[in-house]
Amino acid sequence: MGSSASSESESSRPSSRNIPSPRSQAPSRRERSTFKEVQLNQRDSQLGNPSGGETMATQSHSGSEQTDQSNISPQRSNTQQQGGSQPQIRITRQESQSRWQGAYQQYQYPQGYYHNSGQRYGQGGQYGGMYGVTQAAVGHQQQQQRLQYKEDDIVFETFYHVNGQALTCMYKNGQRYVLDSWQTQTWQPFPMQWYNQGTLVTNSVVKSDQPVQNEASSSNNTTTAGTSIDDREGKIAHPKRGKLHTYLFEEKRNVHCYYDTNSGTWMKMPVHWELYSPLVRQMVATIKDDCPEWKNEHDIIATLRACNYKPDDAIATFLAWDEIFDQSAGGTSDINIILEKDENIATLEKKRDVLCVQLSKSFEDLESERKQKQILESRVHELQEQLSSMEVEARTATVALEALQNQRPKTARPKTARPKTPQVEYRTEYIEIEKDTVDPALVEDTATATKDLHKSFLMLKRETQQHLQDLGKMLTQVVTSVMSLKTADSGQSKELQEIKELYRRETMQRKLLYNKLQELKGNIRVFCRCRYDNRVDCSHNFPSDQEVTPLGSKKPFSFDRVFTPQATQAEIFEDTLPIITSCVDGYNVCIMAYGQTGSGKTHTMMGPKNDPGVNIRSIEELLRICSEREKVQYKLEASMVEIYNETIQDLLSPTPTTLELRAQGNKINLPNLTKKLVESKDDIQKIMDMGDKNRSVASTKMNSTSSRSHLLFMISLEGRDKVSGAVSNGTLTLCDLAGSERIAKTEATGQRLVEAAAINKSLSALGQVFAALKSNQLHVPYRNSKLTHLLQPSLGGDAKACLFVNISPAESNVTESVSTLQFGSGAKQISLGQAKQNVKKAPLKSKNSNIGPANWDLDQL
Ligand SMILES: Nc1ncnc2c1ncn2[C@@H]1O[C@H](COP(=O)(O)OP(=O)(O)OP(=O)(O)O)[C@@H](O)[C@H]1O
């Protein structure tokens, strides 16, 4: 390590003591993974976390020598010692190896089950640690398993076979069964040989009081599994140090490292070295293009590091900083800034309106000038015609006069030959002719007419000349005013453009601030509602409007809001309002209700017709906001599906239709899903009624009841900004989940057991998703059930969610209520991260397109 760099990188240097030496200068993937392992192990030991079975299994798999502890068998895990409700068993090293080998193979190949972004997340066991799930793995442990479950308990499990299949199992009356398929719905005895061919995981909903272990096992396995992540690998040419091998490590300290051949370790790269990396340079250039005011390249790189080298995120952070600095400088709150922005927008809008009025007035003036010019032109034309006809008349008269003169007899002579004007001469000659040969009266008349004609000719000539002069002046004036209008117009267009741009920026910043505010409140908000029931007294206490203490508990459960049995539907809806606004701005939003049967989920979501619940109110609110935003054109489409026994039914299709789920990356599709346009309140009710009708038909056909299936009402909302042309796509998913009660008694048989298995699978999968999000797992197991898979876009890191946990007031239901509250409490600790807006910029318009017809008019002139 050179002296120049050592001081800079000293503080940021990873603990290199434990990092194994590389075999060659270019470090292998295995070395990188070992580096991660060591780091994670250090982190775990710092946290006092022995890492349970997971880390041991991973180490065993990756060939590390630290598996000795795993020989303690069987032993209660840390989880259990800390009061987690699910026991966890430690297993022997051999067991561990055979188990994890199977599990590892399973995640290598089949179905892409736990495959995400080119990385593999191994080991069903990771869920054991994370979700308080029991590892019931090997044959001779079956006895041990039996001891853990109560005799009359029914326990649902998932068996991950080495061939990649995940099967639903059930432990009942001391026997284990496997579900043949969701179609046949028959339970077969669990084959004995399978105990050595895979992993059994008990499905249970995450409990908030269970410690969540870190993602060491999954991350460790990521690289050892042999997936390619080499796009994070590179080289830099340092002016003094020459060529250096670099790598972007993926742990949360996601920073560029370089391989230091002197020390034989990976070192954290000083910020300014990153400028030598073409990859980083490119990112910096992109950011500088987008934010020209952001000049400090070191700042940019530091932000990039913090944002996992995602330029978009770095830009968003920069904009957010801007706001924060503004805020601290001015000492104003986010709300004040929003209000200020609103004011600015309003002022800009006013200014724009004034400019528009001015512009249209200018065009009106221009139009009237043009008309005047046309009138003048036609007048000139008329005059010219008149003039030319008069000239013709004058010529004719002259000719006639000449002819008359010629007709005069040679003898006739004038009495006196006075040198006078031609008229006088004519007159004299007239007299002569009159006297000698021609009718004197005729001559007199002709002379008078000629005289008059001449006079009017002269007058007309003068008048025409005058008119022409006036016209010339007017034309000059028109040309001048047209020219000035043209100049003013281009100035105004430019101003208008600037105002438009400012308006767009202000609107974006307002949205950004609004979302920041939401993020501060949490992108997942959890509300608890206790049902009103006049048959029983409420057994819970409500110390505050954010806390509930169920009967028998000492400590209250905290939520974003707790609603007592007296809370009205309108009050319930109030707190979901902000999240609805987000949907209009192009976010994926999900509102769902969880709780045991009869706890009031449907009442909360749907509600009676005379006092509707969140569903109708949300859509009405959406319609209201959409109608208020005149500058954006919205299109709302609704669809309704039901998930029963892991099958998805389309409830708006005229004939009962089962839908297949298709996934493309993070996008989830339901081909052939029926969508209905929503334009008014009436449409909502009609759609709801239709869905309800089809649901009861489907329920009868499937022999299900509403509480046995999940109901999802999905609204897709497309908004097109008429000013900026940007298109936003938001979705609102309203989900009434199936009853969460436990099937704990042996009376449950047949169809009910299959339904219970399906509900248990999907709700525990939902718990797993929440738990993975809570502990910021790289992999979130959305695909573990149809419900979570379908909800993926609404539950991911770029969405906003709202969960209602519904509890019964009755003392008899207190166990279920506590379980529900634990589920909600677990979900409350999730931070979904920064929600992402689905907005596409408008395509660039042609240079002059904004002034359109006005320009055309000007060109015509
Ligand atoms: N807050 C409340 N005020 C008045 N009645 C309520 C309230 N909550 C629920 N109820 C009534 O309790 C009964 C059961 O409620 P609901 O059907 O909403 O429960 P659920 O949790 O959706 O049950 P399931 O899981 O079976 O669908 C209904 O008759 C409903 O009208």
How remote is the CA of residue 802 from the centroid of ligand 1, in Å?
19
Looking at this protein, which amino acid is placed at residue 708? R
Closest approach atom of ligand 1 to CA 567: 1
Closest approach atom of ligand 1 to CA 599: 21
Q: Does residue 603's CB lie within 6 angstroms of at least one atom of ligand 1?
A: yes
Report which of 755, 769, 757, 765 is spatially closest to residue 785, judged by C-alpha positions: 765
How remote is the CA of residue 614 from the centroid of ligand 1, in Å?
14
pLDDT at residue 5 is higher than 50: no
How remote is the CA of residue 706 from the centroid of ligand 1, in Å?
12
Closest approach atom of ligand 1 to CA 736: 22
Q: Which residue has the higher pLDDT, 231 or 592?
A: 592
Q: Where are the alpha helices (DSSP H) in 437-547?
A: 440-521
Residues of the chain with pLDDT > 90: what percent? 12
Joined together, the tokens standing for residue 369 give 């000038």
Q: Which of 240-254, 559-573, 735-749 has the highest mean pLDDT?
A: 559-573
Q: Which residue has the higher pLDDT, 701 or 575?
A: 575
Give the pLDDT score at 801. 86
Q: Which residue has the tokens 């966890």?
A: 88
How remote is the CA of residue 131 from the centroid of ligand 1, in Å?
30
Let me know: does 806 contact 532? Beta carbons within 8 Å.
no
Candidate from 329-338, 775-784, 837-846 with smallest mean pLDDT: 837-846
Does ipTM come in above 0.90? Answer: yes
The pair phi, psi for residue 384, each rounded to 5°, is -60, -40
For residue 288, the Cα-to-chain-centroid distance in whole angstroms is 24
Closest approach atom of ligand 1 to CA 608: 31
Q: Does residue 61's CB lie within 6 angstroms of at least one atom of ligand 1?
A: no
How remote is the CA of residue 711 from the centroid of ligand 1, in Å?
15
Strand partners, 557: 548
The pLDDT tens digits for 407-443 are: 765 544 444 444 444 444 445 454 454 455 667 788 7
Distance CA 641, CA 235 (A): 51
Q: Does residue 598's CB lie within 6 angstroms of at least one atom of ligand 1?
A: yes
The pair phi, psi for residue 734, each rounded to 5°, is -110, 120
Q: What letter does residue 191 receive in the DSSP assignment?
A: P
Joined together, the tokens standing for residue 68 give 């000795």
pLDDT at residue 548 is higher than 80: yes
Let me know: does 313 contact 307? Beta carbons within 8 Å.
yes
599 is in an annotated binding site: yes
Q: Which of 26-30, 204-208, 766-770, 843-847 has the highest mean pLDDT?
A: 766-770
Candidate from 214-223, 598-607, 648-657 with smallest mean pLDDT: 214-223
Candidate from 77-91, 353-367, 785-799 with smallest mean pLDDT: 77-91
The pLDDT tens digits for 654-696 are: 888 899 988 766 678 899 999 999 988 888 888 988 888 887 6
Q: Where are the alpha helices (DSSP H) in 656-733?
A: 681-702
Q: Does residue 820's CB lie within 6 angstroms of at least one atom of ligand 1?
A: no
For residue 209, the Cα-to-chain-centroid distance in whole angstroms is 33
Residues of the chain with pLDDT > 70: what percent? 63
Joined together, the tokens standing for residue 625 give 């906001």
Q: Given pLDDT bands bounded at 50, 70 and 90, which one contains residue 521? A: low
Rg (CA), the chain: 43
What stretch of H or E contains 548?
strand 547-549
Q: Which long-range contacts (CB under 8 A, 24 or more apart) does 232-238 make?
A: 234/277, 234/278, 234/279, 236/273, 236/274, 236/276, 236/277, 237/276, 238/273, 238/276
Q: Does residue 531's CB lie within 6 angstroms of at least one atom of ligand 1?
A: yes
Q: Which residue has the higher pLDDT, 812 or 147?
A: 812
**Angle formed by the axes of helices 278-290 and 297-306, to 10°?**
100
For residue 395, the Cα-to-chain-centroid distance in whole angstroms is 86
Q: Does residue 595's CB lie within 6 angstroms of at least one atom of ligand 1?
A: yes
How remote is the CA of residue 203 from the centroid of ligand 1, in Å?
27
pLDDT at residue 301 is higher than 70: yes
Give the pLDDT score at 437. 61
Joined together, the tokens standing for residue 314 give 């770095």
Closest approach atom of ligand 1 to CA 604: 18
Q: What letter does residue 275 receive in the DSSP assignment?
A: G
Let me know: does 75 contact 90? Beta carbons within 8 Å.
yes
Q: Does residue 613's CB lie within 6 angstroms of at least one atom of ligand 1?
A: no
601 is in an annotated binding site: yes
Closest approach atom of ligand 1 to CA 806: 21
Q: Does residue 597's CB lie within 6 angstroms of at least one atom of ligand 1?
A: yes
Let me know: does 270 contact 287? Beta carbons within 8 Å.
no
The pLDDT tens digits for 90-135 are: 333 333 333 333 333 333 323 322 223 322 223 333 323 323 333 3
Q: Does residue 706's CB lie within 6 angstroms of at least one atom of ligand 1?
A: yes
Ligand 1 pocket mutation pick from 564, 597, 602 by most atoms within 8 angstroms of CB: 602
455 is in an annotated binding site: no
Structural domains present in the chain: 49-224 (no CATH), 337-504 (1.10.287), 523-840 (3.40.850.10)
The C-alpha torsion from 790 through 794 and 798 to 804, rounded to 10°, is: -140
**Average pLDDT, whole number, for the chain?**
69
DSSP calls for 351-368 = HHHHHHHHHHHHHHHHHH
Q: Does residue 120's CB lie within 6 angstroms of at least one atom of ligand 1?
A: no
Q: What letter does residue 846 receive in the DSSP assignment?
A: P
Joined together, the tokens standing for residue 710 give 């999940």
Q: Which long-range contacts (CB under 8 A, 24 or more apart) does 304-310 make?
A: 304/280, 305/254, 305/255, 305/256, 305/271, 308/254, 309/248, 309/254, 309/280, 309/283
Q: What letter does residue 22 receive in the DSSP assignment?
A: P
How remote is the CA of residue 640 from the centroid of ligand 1, in Å?
20
Which residue's CA is the nearest one to ligand 1's atom 30? 603
What is the mean pLDDT of the segment spanning 451-468?
85
Joined together, the tokens standing for residue 101 give 């080998």
How remote is the CA of residue 604 from the centroid of ligand 1, in Å?
8
